[in-house]
Amino acid sequence: MSKATLVFVLRRLLQVIPVVLAIAAFNFLLLKLAPGDAADIIAGQMGHATVEFTQQLRREFGLDLPLWEQFLVYMTRLLVFDLGVSHLQGLPVIDLILARLPATLILMITAIFIAVLVGIVLGVAAARRQGTLADNLISTLALVVYAIPAFWLGLMLIVLFSIQLDILPSGGMVSIGAGHTGLAHVLDVAWHLVLPAVTLGLFYVAVYTRLMRASMLEVYGLDFIATARAKGLSEGKIAWTHAARNALLPVATLCGVQLGHLLGGSILVETVFGWPGLGRLVFDALLQRDLNLLLGILFVSSVVVVIANLVVDLLYGLLDPRIVHK
């Protein structure tokens, strides 16, 4: 690693700090904008709380302090990942979130993996046959898929594959009562992952197919492709080893940009399939009007996106050796 690269990596790491602080401050703002505070909510749930009791709750939560002091307390707590307590489950918000985060990450990573892989293959295939029936078919399909709400697609896939054909599970992450361990457990989870991951990934298949096709057509117009043809390389070799490698860059960029979007989609898809990730937690938090938990999820998911963007940025240099960090 050259010195310039090291400086770039360090500087990029430092840039994350103000963004995370801004997200925390924004979270605090939302918390204060909400009508009624935690004490009101708890008092409301108890049904017959007195004014004195509500006041006592306020003192306990520090809600009687001046706003700037509350802000300082909030920010210091966030530094040690203290996101408060979920009012209904009585557990620390961060514990609830961390317990659910792995399932969401598994779903997101699988979906994006499917999307990139299939998107690249279809995009290259379409670009190589530009203007033919196959190209038009791929492009039209991509356009239709682009318009399908993921949560509805999930329901329709359940109808087809779980109810009608009965070949894939309709929800959950493991078979209930099976008690698999080791490899059997992994396979069981993978089995349950098929439908949610395809549902979440399909939209991005369309996105990457369209992008890869456009990007390939652009690269095909460059001089080095003409050189490769003049050398007598086969079209397959030109497409995959010369053009596709260069056409990949915009796809990698978009992957990074769309992580937040992917996480949002994951919430809906998880709700449909009962996948025990952050999405299910959002749904439960909504049902129980658990604002602390909701804001905690917003904070953690934003931080996840910031970190993922950082990783993509750092990996980008590996994909494109032309990038020199100044």
Partner 1 sequence: MRGLATFWFRFRRNRAAVVGAAVLFVVVLAAIFGPWFYPVDPFDMVGRPYTVPLDQFPLGTDVAGRDILAGILHGARISLLIGLLASLAATIVGVTFGAIAGYYGGRIDDLLMRTTEFFLTIPSFVLAVVLVAIFQPSVTTVTVAIAVVSWPSVARLARGEFIAHRDREYVQGCRAIGMPDWEIILLQIMPNALPPVIVVASLMVATAILTESGLSFLGLSDPNLVSWGYMIGVARTALRTAWWMAAIPGLMIVITVLAINLIGEGLNDALNPKLRK
210, two tokens: 């369209």
Helices (H), the chain: 3-33, 38-46, 51-61, 67-79, 93-128, 133-145, 150-157, 182-220, 223-230, 235-237, 244-257, 259-273, 278-287, 291-319
- Max alpha carbon distance in the chain (Å)? 87
53 vs 146, beta carbon nearer partner 1: 146
Residue 119: CB minimum distance to partner 1, A: 18
Amino acid 8 reads F
Residue 265: CB minimum distance to partner 1, A: 7
Does residue 86 interact with partner 1 by CB under 8 A? no
Q: Out of 93, 120, 158, 243, which residue is the one contacting partner 1 (CB under 8 A)?
A: 158
Q: Out of 104, 199, 246, 302, which residue is the one contacting partner 1 (CB under 8 A)?
A: 302
Judged by CB under 8 A, how many residues of this single chain contact partner 1?
49
Q: What's the CA gap between 129 and 143, in Å, rounded?
A: 18
Task: Name which of 242, 241, 236, 237 is nearest 220 in CA terms.
Answer: 242
Could you tell me which stretch among 25-33, 50-58, 84-92, 311-319 binds partner 1 (CB under 8 A)?
25-33
Name which of residues 195 to 224 contact partner 1 (CB under 8 A): 214, 217
117 vs 257, beta carbon nearer partner 1: 257
Residue 183: CB minimum distance to partner 1, A: 32
Does residue 173 interact with partner 1 by CB under 8 A? no
Could you tell me which stretch among 40-48, 49-57, 95-103, 260-268 binds partner 1 (CB under 8 A)?
260-268
Residue 264: CB minimum distance to partner 1, A: 3
Q: Out of 61, 146, 240, 316, which residue is the one contacting partner 1 (CB under 8 A)?
A: 146
Residue 97: CB minimum distance to partner 1, A: 12
From the centroid of its chain, how far is CA 81? 20
281, two tokens: 């937690």
146, two tokens: 């682009």
Q: What's the CA gap between 242 and 297, in Å, rounded?
A: 43
Q: What's the CA gap between 181 and 174, in Å, rounded?
A: 11
140, two tokens: 């039209």
Q: Out of 9, 30, 49, 101, which residue is the one contacting partner 1 (CB under 8 A)?
A: 30
Q: What's the CA gap between 65 and 83, in Å, rounded?
A: 18
The answer to whether 308 touches 109, Cβ cutoff 8 Å, is no
Can you give the binding site for partner 1, defined by CB under 8 A?
19, 22-23, 26, 30, 33-35, 143-144, 146-152, 155-156, 158-159, 163, 214, 217, 257, 260-261, 263-265, 267-268, 271-272, 282-283, 286-287, 289, 291, 294-295, 297-298, 301-302, 305-306, 309
